[in-house]
Structure 1
Amino acid sequence: MITHLKGKLVEKNPTYVIIECNGVGYFLNISLHTFSSIKDEENIKLFTHLQIKEDSHTLFGFAERSEREIFRLLLSVSGIGSSIARTMLSSLSPDQIRDAIAGGDVATIQAIKGIGGKTAQRVIVDLKDKILKVYDMDEVSLPSNNTTKEEALSALEVLGFTRRQSGKVVDKVLSQDSSLSVEDIIKQALKNL
């Protein structure tokens, strides 16, 4: 297995690069995230993933080890192939994908071209526990522009609950009914704290 390539950057495009190592040119498929991370330097190092099929050997390159890990996790999901995984990494950064999966954010995953609702849910169901374990994370609360959520969290803090503790409960309450008022969110959360 080829774990990384370090050599001279011969050609750079948004979808692939060619790296020359000891006289051999390697064609690596890349995401837009990796493309934007590669500086126009003469010598570069990319982490790799080799995909072997009956009719082809395809090499993928990643600027960061974490991007390769997310790519490999995505490939483990039924219905996600290398082209969809690469599209996902071109649309979102590895950290954004990781946080969306850990937070159960179906809308963010579904917003990626080629990902439908069922596939987005399957990605989250299949990978959420793996992501939480591999990255040693607690469940991530979804990013929210919701002022009612913030007001409810602030009120619960005043009542003596930690933001982390109350955040999980408030997220659970909002996942059941996102149209609740601040008072109703607090009442429901207090029943579960």
Structure 2
Amino acid sequence: MISSVRGQVLAISLDHAVIEVGGVGLAVRTTPATLATLRRGEEARLSTTLVVREDSLTLFGFATDEARELFGLLQTVTGVGPKLALAVLAVLEPDKLCAALAEGNITVLTQVPGVGRKGAERLVIELRDKVGALLPSASLPGVDHDQVRGQVVEALLGLGFPAKQAEAAVESVLADGGGDTATVLRQALAGLGRKK
């Protein structure tokens, strides 16, 4: 797998750039936002993934490793191929996409051409839990660790768990990456259930 390319930008088109690597010009398909950061004649580095089909080898490039990982993750969803995954990343920045998936925000996801309501629901169902593992919860917009900690501890106290036990369970989940309130509560309860 070709995980990154670095070299001089030879040409920039509407949907790809040509980057010279070791004397070979590689056509790298990417998003308009990434293309806008490239300048002909200057050196560039892109995180990449190679998609192999019977009739083609296509190199896709991204400004960050996180975007590349999201591209691969999107393709694990039924009915999502490389073109649609690239379209999703062209419309939604990685942070915005992760937030929409974590929150189940169908409206944001349907802004992508080719993603209808059913497709957006499928994306949420299949990726909601995986997105938290992909990016640290600190990078998910709207996730406040102190607020989550307080809400989950309060919920566990309301369920009758001792304060020290509740706090320890929540800290354990947050140390493993955490997430939103519902995710942390679910994981904390699972951890407390194992200790009984």
> What is the TM-score normalised by the length of structure 2?
0.69
What is the Cα deviation at residue 97 of structure 1?
A: 0.6
SS of the residue corresponding to residue 34 of structure 1 reads: helix
| Letter of the 1:15 counterpart | D
| Letter of the 2:56 counterpart | S
What is the Cα deviation at residue 142 of structure 1?
A: 7.6
Contact 1:33/1:89 (8 A) holds in 2:
no
**In structure 1, distance between residues paired with 2:26 and 2:134:** 30
What is the Cα deviation at residue 134 of structure 1?
A: 2.3
Distance verdict in 2 for CA 1:41–1:127, change over 3 Å: farther
Contact 2:102/2:128 (8 A) holds in 1:
yes
| Letter of the 2:131 counterpart | I
Distance verdict in 2 for CA 1:90–1:46, change over 3 Å: same
Contact 1:103/1:142 (8 A) holds in 2:
no
1:16-165 equivalent positions in 2, closer than 5 A = 16-39=16-39, 42-137=42-137, 163-164=147-148, 165=151
Where does residue 172 of structure 2 map in the other structure?
A: none
| Letter of the 1:111 counterpart | Q
**In structure 2, distance between residues paired with 1:46 and 1:141:** 25
**In structure 2, distance between residues paired with 1:6 and 1:73:** 24
**In structure 2, distance between residues paired with 1:133 and 1:62:** 20
SS of the residue corresponding to residue 115 of structure 1 reads: coil
Distance verdict in 2 for CA 1:6–1:21, change over 3 Å: same
Contact 2:101/2:124 (8 A) holds in 1:
yes
Contact 1:29/1:59 (8 A) holds in 2:
yes
What is the Cα deviation at residue 113 of structure 1?
A: 1.1
SS of the residue corresponding to residue 45 of structure 1 reads: strand
SS of the residue corresponding to residue 114 of structure 1 reads: coil
Note the residue ranges of structure 2 that are not aligned, 5 or more in a row: 156-196
Q: CA RMSD in A?
A: 2.3
**In structure 1, distance between residues paired with 2:128 and 2:122:** 10
> What is the TM-score normalised by the length of structure 1?
0.70
**In structure 1, distance between residues paired with 2:99 and 2:39:** 26
| Letter of the 1:48 counterpart | T
Contact 1:47/1:64 (8 A) holds in 2:
yes
Contact 2:50/2:58 (8 A) holds in 1:
yes
Distance verdict in 2 for CA 1:121–1:45, change over 3 Å: same
